[in-house]
């Protein structure tokens, strides 16, 4: 499972970070830069990833299974 981040859409709400502050590394200004995040293969991390994607109001995150 991967999360594709569109940094241009990120508005710095940090709702993804609230779901898992280890998986989502915000920059110094509180934004998530464009990147691909490989989600660890554990039920807890996969649940956090799904919640983070759903929580993003700008739809800056896309889940790829």
**Number of domains, the chain:** 1
What integer pLDDT is reported at residue 30 of this predicted model?
95
| Distance from C-alpha of 33 to C-alpha of 26, rounded to nearest angstrom | 7
Three-state secondary structure of 10-29: CCCCCHHHHHCCCCCCCCCC
pLDDT at res. 6: 98
CATH number of the domain within which 59 lies: 3.30.70.20
Express the helix, strand and coil content of the chain in percent, nearest 5 each. Answer: 30, 20, 55
State the pLDDT at residue 56.
98
Q: Which residues of the chain have pLDDT under 70?
A: none
Domain that holds residue 9: 2-64
Give ∠ CA 47-55-13 in degrees, rounded to 5: 125
Q: What is the per-residue pLDDT for 7?
A: 97
pLDDT at 22: 96
């Amino acid at each position: 499972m991967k999360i594709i981040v569109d940094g241009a859409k990120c508005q710095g709400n940090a709702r993804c970070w609230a779901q898992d502050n280890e998986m989502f590394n915000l920059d110094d200004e509180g934004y998530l830069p464009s990147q691909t995040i490989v989600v660890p293969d554990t039920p807890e991390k996969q649940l956090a990833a799904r919640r983070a994607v759903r929580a993003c109001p700008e739809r800056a995150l896309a889940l790829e299974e």
